């Protein structure tokens, strides 16, 4: 009986020790996890961080606009995260400089985003190396109905009228000839004395043709001035549009009032003034060619290309003979009948809405 009592007491002691160990382990675990529930933990104290002021924009600054007071301010920035030579820290140093790009509100300013006064035009930074920019006049039909935008790729087509000229005189043929008057009275026998030229009347130089009906030569002269011959060819295969319209006017308008951002699904606003010129990025040799064409009065037309299509385009020069041969256009035969009334000028019939009614008397 006494042995059983001793074994029961020993078992109670062992269970108590086990419970005590479990409670101690739970307490240590709670301490490692942040303390007991509801017990406030002391906040770690950190030393104050060293800050430095950097310059940021307070409003939208258009590309090429001058930085003025009120357009920029400073905010604190951790000094240990500031890389030397990146963000500008001196507010006064940015005044008078110009924005190289469009700067949105809240953008930290860097030296690479600003242009020094007198550093040249902003547009010149958009021209790749070994290329130049040149402006050419345009109209609605020569600029894809004013659909061109900066960055578009275009093919430049040139068309010119060619005439025959006298190689010595460099004047358009036929030459003018004065009338030869022989000396002596009218109806008198011809004299051996050479005649003289009457420069008061000039006649187009013609050619002698033999008339089989009269069985004698005749002298034929042109019935009208020489007709020029048209030829068209691709001049530049791939040119990039830099700007539409006058660049200076566009910069002034943008600086005065930023263009409104179109809403989703809304078409961009159309300018009331249509551009009269387009600035193209071309090679220096192509720039000289374009300059020559403009001075010679050669007509220039622009064809829009896909920006991902950079393959060279090889075309044939188009003349009237080329058009007739390639498109299989026959020469109309001379028939013993014709359409009445006579038509000398091709015009499409006008629609009823285009006809102006005759006012009643």
Confidence of residue 263 (pLDDT cuts 50, 70, 90): low
Cα–Cα distances (Å) from 279 to 138, 150, 160, 343, in that order, read 10, 9, 22, 42
Residue 57 CA to residue 109 CA, distance in Å, equals 7
The mean pLDDT of the chain is 82
Residue 232 CA to residue 296 CA, distance in Å, equals 15
> Does the predicted TM-score (pTM) go above 0.85?
no
What's the pLDDT at 256?
47
The DSSP secondary structure of 5-55, one letter per residue, reads HHHHHHHHHHHHHHHHHHHHHHHHHHHHTTSSTT---PPPP-PPPPEEEEE
Percent of the chain past pLDDT 70, that is, above it, reads: 78
Residue 84 has pLDDT above 90, yes or no: no
First to last CA, the chain: 147
Q: Where are the alpha helices (DSSP H) in the chain?
A: 2-32, 247-256, 284-296, 320-326
Domains and CATH numbers, the chain: 51-120 (3.90.1210.10), 125-162+229-257+273-321 (no CATH), 176-220 (no CATH)
Residue 54 sits at φ, ψ, to 5 deg, of -120, 155
- DSSP-derived letter for residue 248 is H
CB 62 within 8 A of CB 68: no
What's the pLDDT at 196?
59
Confidence of residue 130 (pLDDT cuts 50, 70, 90): very high
Report pLDDT digits (tens) over 141-168.
Answer: 999 999 999 999 999 999 999 999 999 9
Residue 69 three-state SS:
coil
User: How confident is the model over 248-266, as a mean pLDDT?
Assistant: 52
């Amino acid at each position: 009986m006494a042995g059983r009592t001793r074994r029961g007491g020993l078992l109670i002691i062992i269970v108590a020790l086990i419970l005590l160990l479990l409670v101690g382990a739970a307490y240590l675990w709670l301490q490692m996890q942040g303390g007991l529930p509801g017990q406030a933990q002391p906040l770690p104290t950190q030393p104050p961080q060293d800050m430095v002021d950097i310059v940021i924009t307070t409003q939208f600054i258009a590309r090429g606009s001058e930085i003025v007071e009120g357009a920029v301010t400073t905010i604190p920035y951790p000094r240990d995260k500031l890389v030397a030579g990146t963000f500008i820290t001196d507010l006064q140093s940015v005044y008078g400089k110009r924005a190289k790009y469009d700067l949105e509100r809240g953008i930290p300013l860097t030296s690479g985003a600003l242009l020094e006064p007198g550093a040249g035009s902003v547009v010149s930074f958009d021209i790749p190396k070994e290329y130049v920019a040149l402006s050419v006049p345009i109209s609605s039909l020569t600029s894809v109905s004013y659909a061109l935008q900066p960055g578009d790729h275009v093919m430049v087509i040139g068309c010119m009228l060619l005439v025959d000229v006298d190689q010595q005189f460099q004047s358009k043929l036929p030459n003018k000839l004065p009338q030869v008057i022989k000396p002596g009275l009218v109806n008198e026998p011809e004299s051996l004395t050479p005649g003289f030229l009457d420069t008061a009347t000039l006649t187009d130089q013609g050619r002698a043709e033999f008339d089989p009906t009269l069985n004698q030569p005749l002298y034929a002269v042109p019935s009208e001035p020489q007709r020029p011959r048209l030829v068209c060819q691709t001049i530049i295969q791939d040119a990039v549009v830099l700007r539409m319209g006058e660049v200076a006017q566009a910069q002034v308008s943008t600086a005065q009032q930023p263009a409104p951002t179109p809403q989703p699904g809304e078409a961009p606003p159309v300018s009331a003034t249509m551009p009269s010129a387009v600035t193209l990025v071309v090679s220096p040799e192509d720039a000289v060619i374009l300059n020559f064409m403009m001075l010679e009065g050669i007509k220039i037309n622009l064809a829009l290309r896909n920006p991902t299509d950079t393959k060279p385009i090889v075309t044939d020069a188009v003349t009237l003979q080329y058009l007739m041969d390639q498109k299989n256009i026959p020469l109309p035969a001379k028939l013993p009948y014709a359409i009445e009334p006579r038509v000398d000028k091709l015009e499409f019939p006008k629609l009823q809405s285009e006809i102006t009614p005759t006012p009643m008397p």
